[in-house]
Structure 1
């Protein structure tokens, strides 16, 4: 038994862990939210991405400290449950909310994959075609994750590091083909205020949530004490740098109206006009790799979380079953629910639900870390800064939705109510 345990722990090294985190972040980031960001803050999009990265670093601080203290693959859910063992209802709510936060990010990645995959065809704007392709890619990576942990890790490595090379190439090619300058664009966007930039940084927070997936792999990684902080902090830094560079290249080379008009596949559409067919195809390949790795990494991490929650009785028991240590039923259930969300929503709604959810649960983790900061050896100042930043981000999104898209507030609120009802039912049964 001990030898089997050691062997299993060696499945994922530092490169695989960084790949899982980068896969969960970059896939849902620049390709999914560039058009939305440019439509709101224009030339200040790179600044919004950098602010989002700083917010992610603040959130990651508490996650890292709690992960090193508890060493539990249940991550967000388990950290709260173990810190507040008597708060069963809240633990159940956290489990349901964070699980559907991951489902929303999976839907975001699959939707974006489909948008880029069909962007060169006449039916590029067909919602039916887009949702069908999204369902297909979810199905493919469900099979891969059910197949093998080691196989998933190696495929993730290949996709993530290939897409990083492609993204760097795209960035510098776009910058070299710029048709304007930053000062000139700034002159045309003087009316953008700081609040708008903060709102966009908050809306794009979901593009950074992938760092949490590292913690879900704690039972299958080498040297957690060293590799958890290394993987999480380095992946957030790399992601922020990539977002900033690509967004600078995009706003310098691609007309804003083009980015805004084709929000779902902004980079491919713009690169086609600036760089020709080869440039557009390179962007599409990068987008498909990025979103594919995001889907794979998120399925891997979140399925382990579901298995832990189900084992505590807050999800149906069949979700605890594993084959070769792989939570097969959790993976399949995630895939089915993701496709249901794809059928019911659109890119913006999915993005906002995911960002609000992860801001809220990250805020809860900051509070959790604050409560046991002496045990986790955490800085009081950094922990409080994290809580203030995450609270500000949550308020910024809710304010934006309330004054611009109140119907989406109802949709998102309705989802939270449904999830809370199920959380109550399962916590009541457990009692």
Structure 2
């Protein structure tokens, strides 16, 4: 790739449309602007564990009850519908992640295809998917910490210290603690974080398999009738809620600069994660409802522990499930915070947000300041909000970014047909078009109140871009770091 100069536009960028080419994105990912690059230390197994770690957590351990309350036993269909949405979008992520293996994920894909303004709004929406969901997941972690303490010693944390004001408490301290624990591990280095995530992913898959083995011993066909008490509307609403359980699989693409052989490993890891998680979720939902009935499961947030307690007639099994949930949800906080810091680092490199987010420690090769800022900012809603307040907004923001990713695949095929792709979306262009359609369908299921909140959120993002980011963009600013000769692509 020819290098750019400050006096002449680079052939790898379009300043009029403010589109950054894949070649430039790959060149810039070779080293951090401060001269301390990210290390490629994650293999395929670690990447799969990282993906599972980012997905399996609050959605199934805590949110299952909300999905069942909407759909009844037909929640299994809701999980499949949410999975189908994810599969179509996963195809698009796999193609883009293999073609442009950088740390910006959806943000970088939009920058390379749809332009800077859309990319900024995608990055803005990713604050919901990654940042706000950290808060939501941390709140769910707090609920299972209480369940575990109750099982072990028959004691709960005081409500004033384990719930936000919306749930009858004052401050949710456990939620704050898990966010700070994750930040501490992340700043130590990706090798340590990936190792911890892998161990936790294996443990929680084992816990969920053990749950299914126990629940199916008490399975009763009668608990599945009526199958869809609220009709298709209930299934759709249940799918919108269940989609929260899948949020995080795209975090795999945020590790593009720290993965060995990313063009091969990223697409494979995405497909493995979606397949494993879908099978687990359907089995867990079917087992829980078959053992206890939809009404009982829909009534209790920590439903999995309740099922095991009822089936085994002992609190020991429920305690083990609670322990698994504590570990599982902690690993989600870790993986999702990781994704958020890498998105912000990419946006900072482009000048769209302050430079503090792009700085990488020469000692740990991690964005230390970035990580602590994310932890402190999102610990606040974790401390004072309830889970219900943030789940729908997180879901609609995630679905919006996924719709953009499906569009980006089509745009990149047209703009850069010659680009090397280690994976291609099957049934193109039908698959990405269906991906957009399913995303919009589930967005509809979140309800009009969520749409109003999301619209306000987007307007604020557009104002931030117009008032701050557009004039500071390094894509078109003379003498900006990206205007110097860029290093060649590394890895992949």
Give the TM-score of the pair, scaled to structure 1: 0.90
Higher-helix-fraction structure:
1
CA distances 1:50-92 after superposition (whole Å, capped 9, x unpaired) = 22111111111111111222222111111111213xx433322
Once residues 93 and 414 of structure 1 are traced to their aligned partners in structure 2, the CA distance between those partners, rounded to angstroms, is 13
User: Residue 352 of structure 1: which of 392, 395, 403 is its match?
Assistant: 392
Once residues 49 and 147 of structure 1 are traced to their aligned partners in structure 2, the CA distance between those partners, rounded to angstroms, is 36
Deviation at 1:132, TM superposition (A): 1.0
Q: Measured at CA, do residues 8 and 107 of structure 1 come closer, stay the same or move farther in structure 2, by a change above 3 Å?
A: closer
- Please give the root-mean-square deviation of Cα atoms over the aligned residues, in Å: 2.3
Pair 1:308-2:350 in alignment: no
Secondary structure of 2:58's partner? coil
* Structure 1 equivalent of residue 255 of structure 2: 217
Pair 1:426-2:468 in alignment: yes
CA distances 1:7-61 after superposition (whole Å, capped 9, x unpaired) = 9755101111001110111113211310101111111112211221111111111
* Structure 1 equivalent of residue 188 of structure 2: 147
Once residues 378 and 460 of structure 2 are traced to their aligned partners in structure 1, the CA distance between those partners, rounded to angstroms, is 16
Q: Measured at CA, do residues 316 and 387 of structure 1 come closer, stay the same or move farther in structure 2, by a change above 3 Å?
A: same
Once residues 314 and 83 of structure 1 are traced to their aligned partners in structure 2, the CA distance between those partners, rounded to angstroms, is 17
Once residues 356 and 38 of structure 2 are traced to their aligned partners in structure 1, the CA distance between those partners, rounded to angstroms, is 23
Pair 1:170-2:211 in alignment: yes
Pick the structure with greater CA Rg: 2
Pair 1:100-2:128 in alignment: yes
Output aligned runs, 1:256-335, within 5 Å.
256-263=294-301, 265-275=302-312, 276-323=314-361, 324-335=364-375
* Structure 1 equivalent of residue 19 of structure 2: none
Once residues 344 and 27 of structure 1 are traced to their aligned partners in structure 2, the CA distance between those partners, rounded to angstroms, is 20
Unaligned runs of 5+ in 1: none
Secondary structure of 2:353's partner? coil
Deviation at 1:136, TM superposition (A): 0.4
Deviates more, 1:96-105 or 1:243-252: 96-105
Q: Measured at CA, do residues 362 and 125 of structure 1 come closer, stay the same or move farther in structure 2, by a change above 3 Å?
A: farther
Once residues 239 and 362 of structure 1 are traced to their aligned partners in structure 2, the CA distance between those partners, rounded to angstroms, is 18
CA distances 1:106-156 after superposition (whole Å, capped 9, x unpaired) = 112211111000122665683641421000011111100111211111111
Whether the aligned pair in 1 keeps the contact of 2:121 and 2:462 (CA below 8 Å) is yes
Output aligned runs, 1:22-421, within 5 Å.
22-84=52-114, 87-119=115-147, 120=150, 123=156, 126=159, 128-130=161-163, 131-178=172-219, 180-181=220-221, 184-263=222-301, 265-275=302-312, 276-323=314-361, 324-374=364-414, 375=417, 378=425, 379-397=428-446, 401-402=447-448, 406=449, 410-421=452-463
CA distances 1:181-206 after superposition (whole Å, capped 9, x unpaired) = 1xx23433453312321222123223
Once residues 236 and 126 of structure 1 are traced to their aligned partners in structure 2, the CA distance between those partners, rounded to angstroms, is 36
Q: Measured at CA, do residues 289 and 426 of structure 1 come closer, stay the same or move farther in structure 2, by a change above 3 Å?
A: same
Once residues 341 and 418 of structure 1 are traced to their aligned partners in structure 2, the CA distance between those partners, rounded to angstroms, is 19
Unaligned runs of 5+ in 2: 1-29, 164-171, 474-492
Once residues 82 and 216 of structure 1 are traced to their aligned partners in structure 2, the CA distance between those partners, rounded to angstroms, is 15
Q: How many residues align?
A: 414
Once residues 340 and 248 of structure 1 are traced to their aligned partners in structure 2, the CA distance between those partners, rounded to angstroms, is 36
Secondary structure of 2:268's partner? helix
Deviation at 1:262, TM superposition (A): 2.0
